[in-house]
Amino acid sequence: MLQIRCPWCGPRDEPEFRYGGEAHLRFPGNEADPAAWARFLYYRDNPAGAYRERWVHTAGCRQWFHVIRDTTSHRILGSYRLDEPPERAR
């Protein structure tokens, strides 16, 4: 059971959140070519190590935010708001 720091509400237990997968994806728009569209729909980074990912605090303030988490240890290196750069993670 992870404990995640919501940038707005503070540290909360994992069941309060929903996972949103890889962060900083760009919606390619409806003009994307088939390969780019397939990439956007189905392909997500899956690194062993630090991963920038999205979570949403569904049971709390309902805000989406970013987390940097080590996928090999579940250590959380920090979380940051959508309008903050990863360097602001804490």
Residue 7 CB neighbour total at 10 angstroms: 20
Question: Shortest gap between Cβ of 45 and another protein (angstroms)?
Answer: 8
Strand, helix or coil for residue 17: coil
Please give the size of the binding site for another protein, defined by CB under 8 A.
53
DSSP code of residue 86: G
Please tell me whether residue 60 binds another protein under the rule CB under 8 A. Answer: yes
Residues 11-50: x where in contact with another protein by CB under 8 A, - otherwise, as a string: xxxxxx-xxxx-----x-xxxx-xx-xxx-xxxx-x-x--
H and E: helices and strands count for the chain: 1, 6
Q: In 10 A of CB 41, how many CB atoms? A: 10
- Residue 88 engages another protein in binding (rule: CB under 8 A): no
**Joined tokens for residue 60:** 């709390």
Interacting residues toward another protein by CB under 8 A = 1-3, 8-16, 18-21, 27, 29-32, 34-35, 37-39, 41-44, 46, 48, 51, 53-54, 56, 58-64, 69, 71-76, 81-83
